[in-house]
Every structure is written in structure tokens, then in C-alpha cells.
Amino acid sequence: MQLQDILFSQGFGTRRVCAGLVQQGRVSVSGVIRTLPAEEFEEDCLVFTVQGAQWPYQERAYLMLNKPAGTECSQKPSTYPSIYTLLPSPLRLRPQKGAVQGVQAVGRLDQDTTGMLLLTDDGKFIHRMSSPRHHVPKVYEVTTKHPIEGAQVQKLLEGVLLDDDPKPVRAAACERVGEAGEPSHHLRLTLTEGKYHQVKRMIAAVSNRVEGLHRSRIGALSLPEDLAPGQWRWLTADDLARIAS
């Protein structure tokens, strides 16, 4: 593939802009500055540098973001900053079919919810991860206003009615977190489907209230401890396999 087309596919601008970056000596491959936009390269495992920043070629972008509180999962936020401002511009400008550009969040987290958020430009992956038919487990660490009682845990496992759902919604797994015998305000909740404000509404249905909410795992993939709030990283093939497992 021509170098200008590689840059275009990775979100560095129009083909004309990408050709200009090359001609101006702002792109290097294997430590060598390249000035010919039409120079051919194999894309597989290609790593290039644009204006001093190193980029791996990715046919499809798969990312993990540690979402901080006070951010919205929207391209057009209403009150709080968008999570997309935490990403470098090439990820936001990767070309896609249709009017949508860049990576998109796989589902949404409320503005006050923190933790693991996946983003991609792969529409099939978004559909697969979002569809309740695939039962991808998502684990949430919940802090409640009042201590969690065993009876409340049991109700969540058996199923609670939400105000807009005709059938009970069940937690795939639910456990109190803390010292045995001590009152606990912490709950670990596993869900396999996603509804609007689901965790908050489920906790409200057992006469309690969510004070803090953090998503710690999707599938068998946990949020790394060294990924600080607001930071992102590429997902590896192993990560993707663990999400689907």
C-alpha cells in the first residue's frame, strides 16, 4: 500500500494532507525519513512515526480506555467533556463508511461511572459485544449508600422488576465485598445485558442506592492496574480473545 494511503487509513487526514506530511519529511519508517507519498510498504506489523509520534498500523482499531468520572460517552456531550477528547486525533478521524468517523464506544457508561470502556471502528464487533444474545459478562464494583444485606443479594440473583421491563432482570452473579460478618457497602455485580442505568435501577429496586460505580472487567479481561483514569491502550489479539471467552 502507498504510504499516503496508509496514513489516510489510520486517520491522519485526507490523502492530500497525508501526501503533504510525507513530502515535508514528517513521516519516517524504520527510522528513515520518507519523502515519496507513493512509496509502497507492507502494512502487516508496520510501525511508522508521524511528527515524532510512533504509530503501529492497525487494519481495525480496538482500544481500552479507563473512563474517568465527569465525562460523557458522546461525540456531542451536553454537560461534561466527551471521552473522545482523551484520544489522539487520528483515532477520532479514522475513515469509515458513511458519515461517522473514528472509533466509537462499545456501549456507554454514565458520566459518573468509571472504569473499562472499549472503543473500535469495527461495527460487527460493536454489535457482537452489545447484543444480549451473546451474553458477554460485564463486572461492576458498586458502592451503595446503605449496607448490602444478604436478602438484597438474593433478590438481585432471582431477578428484580425495572419500571419499563415486563419481566424480571437478573444479575448473572452478585456478591458482597468486605470482611465476613462486617456491614458492607460494596458489591460486585456481573451482568450479561445492558439497559439504561441498569445497575442503578437494580440497586434501587432492592431499596438501596448507588453511590459509586466502576466497571472492572469485560469477559475475562480485567482493567489493568497500571492504566490510569483517562489513559487508553491498544487491545492485543490475546485481549480480544479474553473478552470473547
pLDDT of residue 99: 67
Mean local confidence (pLDDT), 151-175: 91
CATH number of the domain encompassing residue 9: 3.10.290.10
Identify whether residues 72 and 177 lie together within a single domain: no
Residues 6+ apart with CB under 8 A from 225: none
Active site residue 226: no
Identify whether residues 114 and 231 lie together within a single domain: yes
Identify whether residues 100 and 212 lie together within a single domain: no
**Could you list the residue range(s) of the whole structural domain that residue 129 is in?**
62-133+221-244
Identify whether residues 142 and 209 lie together within a single domain: yes
Residue 172 has pLDDT above 90, yes or no: yes
pLDDT of residue 167: 85
The residue annotated as part of the active site, out of 110, 122, 165, 239, is 110
Total number of domains constituting the chain = 3
* Tens-place pLDDT, residues 61-111: 999 999 999 999 999 998 999 999 999 999 999 998 766 789 999 999 999
CATH number of the domain encompassing residue 211: 3.30.70.1560
Mean local confidence (pLDDT), 198-225: 96
Q: What is the largest CA-CA distance in the chain?
A: 70
- Specify the pTM: 0.92
